[in-house]
Amino acid sequence: MSANATLLSGTGLFKAYGKIDVLRGVDVTVGPDEAHVVIGPNGAGKTTLFKVLTGEVSTSRGRIEFQGEDVTRLPAHQRVHRGFGRTFQVARVFAKLTVRDNLQLACEARSRRRNPVAGLSAQSAGAIEDEITALLAEAGLQRQADAIAGTLAYGDRKRLELAMVLALQPALLFLDEPTAGMSSAERRSTVELLRAVRQRRRLAMLLTEHDMDVVFGLADRISVLHYGELIASGTPEQIRADPRVREVYLGDEDSHA
């Protein structure tokens, strides 16, 4: 893939639940190494867009391509195999297992997926242990390695979920409200972590987020949904200055200017 190629593209995406149109002709793209944030009021269709793109639900109409391949009808697990990774608004971890065991399961799942016949040799098990150590350091969870996941503070559970997704070695990371429910300190720490992960791994990211400090602290590009329609897409500076975006979402607060 060339440096200017599009990693992910969704074209003319519609999603209806009964007679209610939740997405109405949305176009979205993500480039290699890009952080693209989708914002909009509650009910704008952000989470539905994520579900459609990741294969959790099927699109009513439209086309989705990833690395030049049509993945529109592929189920979610096959999109993961092709390089999708996703976190959720509520962290999904194995609450009764230790942090280390959660990461081991994620690493072994990736290993089995790539070589389902060979299984785990002693050498590959050693390599996985090294990878777990590196993931713990990357997520800042070294001290919690032997803690039961269900006992972790909320922010640390989110870090564990992110580390588990990173163990899958995705090319594109979907983050649905990554700082929802966090304190100000946790939000700042999460932004720093995501910046570091992106720089180190050269990962593309597609995020939804409500906190504007987080949005403008991470985004290369921002798209704005309103009642299921894309009303603007551009750089943070362009979105700040867009009169319709300010009217329907950002408002005229100086803190966002």
- What would the pLDDT profile of 172-202 be if each residue is shown by its tens digit? 999 999 998 899 999 999 999 999 999 999 9
Q: What is the pLDDT of residue 115?
A: 63
Is 150 found in the same domain as 49?
A: no
Is 189 found in the same domain as 154?
A: no
More confident residue, 218 or 120: 218
In this prediction, residues 149-173 reach a mean pLDDT of 95
CB 103 within 8 A of CB 136: yes
Give dist(CA 110, CA 147) in Å, integer: 23
Residue with tokens 């580390």: 163
Is 202 found in the same domain as 79?
A: yes
Give dist(CA 78, CA 72) in Å, integer: 11
In this prediction, residues 45-56 reach a mean pLDDT of 95
Last residue of a domain, one of 128, 153, 169: 169
Output the domain CATH number for residue 15.
3.40.50.300
Angle (nearest 5°) at CA 176 between 170 and 182:
115
- Checking if the pLDDT of 121 tops 70, the result is no
DSSP 8-state class, residue 248: I
Q: What is the pLDDT of residue 191?
A: 93
Q: What is the pLDDT of residue 251?
A: 64
What confidence category does residue 118 fall into, taking pLDDT thresholds of 50, 70 and 90?
low
Is 177 found in the same domain as 254?
A: yes
Burial class (CB in 10 A: 0-12, 13-18, 19+), 97: middle
Q: What is the pLDDT of residue 256?
A: 40
Is 175 found in the same domain as 153?
A: no
Is 182 found in the same domain as 145?
A: no
Is 95 found in the same domain as 197?
A: no
Q: What is the pLDDT of residue 23?
A: 97
**Beta strand segments in 152-228, E:** 172-176, 204-208, 221-226
Give the residue numbers spanning the domain of 150.
Answer: 90-169
Is 257 found in the same domain as 176?
A: yes
Is 6 found in the same domain as 70?
A: yes
What confidence category does residue 254 fall into, taking pLDDT thresholds of 50, 70 and 90?
very low
The distance of Cα 235 from the centroid of its chain, to the nearest Å, equals 19
Give dist(CA 129, CA 172) in Å, integer: 24
Is 257 found in the same domain as 175?
A: yes
Does pTM top 0.85 for this prediction? yes
In this prediction, residues 19-40 reach a mean pLDDT of 95
Last residue of a domain, one of 169, 195, 221: 169
What confidence category does residue 120 fall into, taking pLDDT thresholds of 50, 70 and 90?
low
Is 185 found in the same domain as 139?
A: no
> Would you list the DSSP string of 51-84?
HHHHTSS--SEEEEEETTEE-TT--HHHHHHHTE
Closest CA to 105 of 89, 118, 123, 92: 92
Last residue of a domain, one of 131, 150, 169: 169
Is 256 found in the same domain as 178?
A: yes
How many domains are contained in the chain? 2
Enclosing H/E stretch for 22 = strand 20-30
- Checking if the pLDDT of 207 tops 80, the result is yes
